[in-house]
Structure 1
Amino acid sequence: MTKKLAKSAISQKRVLDAAAKIFRDFGYAGTTMRVIAEEAELKAGSIYYHYKSKDDLISAVLDLGIKAVIDAVKDALAKLPEDAPGRLRVQTAIHAHLSAIIDNGDYTLATRRVFGQVPEAIREKNLRLRNSYAAMWQDILTEAQKRGEFRPDANLSLARLFILGALNWTVEWFKPGGSSIDEVARNFSAVVVDGLVVRPDVTASGAAEAEEKDPPRTVRIRAL
Structure 2
Amino acid sequence: MAKKLAKSTISQRRVLDAAAKMFRDYGYAGTTMRAIADESDLKAGSIYYHYKSKDELITAVLDLGINTVINTVQDALDALPETATGRERIETAVRAHLSAIIENGDYTLATRRVFGQVPEAIRLKNTKLRDSYGATWQNILRDAHDRGEFQTGADLTLARLFILGALNWTVEWYKPGGRMIDDVAREFTSVVVDGLAGQQGSFGLSDVGT
Structure 1 counterpart SS, 2:47: helix
Partner residue in 2 for 1:44: 44
- List per-residue Cα deviations over 1:110-134 (Å, max 9, x = no partner): 0000000000000000000000000
Partner residue in 1 for 2:114: 114
Partner residue in 2 for 1:18: 18
Unaligned runs of 5+ in 2: none
4+ residue runs of structure 1 moved beyond 6 angstroms?
A: none
**Alignment partners' CA distance in 2, 1:2 and 1:160:** 38
- List per-residue Cα deviations over 1:127-170 (Å, max 9, x = no partner): 00000000000000001111111111111001000000000000
**Alignment partners' CA distance in 1, 2:3 and 2:186:** 33
Partner residue in 1 for 2:161: 161
Given the two structures, how large is their TM-score scaled by the length of structure 2?
0.93
**Alignment partners' CA distance in 2, 1:25 and 1:99:** 22
Partner residue in 1 for 2:6: 6
**Alignment partners' CA distance in 2, 1:187 and 1:148:** 22
**Alignment partners' CA distance in 2, 1:66 and 1:151:** 30
Q: Quote how far apart the aligned CAs of 1:83 are.
A: 2.0
Residues 68-107 of structure 1 aligned to structure 2 (within 5 Å) = 68-107=68-107
Unaligned runs of 5+ in 1: 219-224
Tell me how many residue pairs correspond in the alignment. 203
**Alignment partners' CA distance in 2, 1:9 and 1:25:** 25
**Alignment partners' CA distance in 2, 1:151 and 1:66:** 30
Q: Quote how far apart the aligned CAs of 1:176 are.
A: 1.3
Given the two structures, how large is their TM-score scaled by the length of structure 1?
0.88
**Alignment partners' CA distance in 1, 2:151 and 2:95:** 22
Q: Once superposed, what is the RMSD of the aligned Cα atoms?
A: 1.6
* Identity between Structure 1 and Structure 2 (%): 72
- List per-residue Cα deviations over 1:94-124 (Å, max 9, x = no partner): 0000000000000000000000000000000
Residues 49-68 of structure 1 aligned to structure 2 (within 5 Å) = 49-68=49-68
